[in-house]
């Protein structure tokens, strides 16, 4: 009885370790119907899956863009007398809404490709998880 309990615990732990989930951070995928890819064969689905994953990696690595935060005009006094000065405020934007929207769309496309490949029983999706699994 004790050996059976240990075997069940080990099997459960192994299944839990293998189950994992598709990591999208805190970005929810947009819904893309799997029928979008129904005319693709397994080879085309595999190529599309690879292509979308490259776009996901590129979008995740995108840096924030520079943004102008203001222009200042003034007068300063110094060793050389009084002179006008103009300053530009440029900094890194923390606005990631555009990047998150792109990732949401890409995650949705990737999930649709996986679902379509599962319907066609393509081998490249064995063990691949989609959002929520």
Q: What is the pLDDT of residues 54-111, one digit of tens each?
A: 999 998 887 655 555 556 666 666 666 676 666 665 555 566 788 889 999 999 999 9
- pLDDT score, position 116: 95
The pTM of this model reads 0.60
Q: What is the model's pLDDT at position 95?
A: 66
Range 70-91 burial, b when 16+ CB lie within 10 A, else e? eeeeeeeeeeeeeeeeeeeeee
């Amino acid at each position: 009885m004790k050996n059976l309990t240990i075997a069940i615990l080990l099997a459960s732990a192994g299944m839990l370790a293998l189950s994992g989930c598709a990591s999208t951070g805190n970005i929810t995928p947009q819904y893309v119907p799997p029928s979008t890819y129904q005319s693709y064969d397994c080879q085309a689905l595999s190529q599309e899956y690879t292509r979308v994953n490259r776009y996901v990696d590129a979008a995740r690595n995108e840096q924030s863009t520079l943004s102008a935060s203001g222009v200042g005009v003034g007068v300063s006094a110094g060793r050389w007398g009084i002179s006008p000065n103009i300053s530009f405020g440029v900094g890194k934007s923390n606005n990631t809404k555009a990047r998150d929207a792109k990732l949401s769309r890409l995650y949705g496309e990737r999930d649709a490709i996986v679902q379509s490949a599962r319907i066609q029983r393509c081998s490249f999706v064995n063990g691949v998880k989609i959002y929520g699994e």
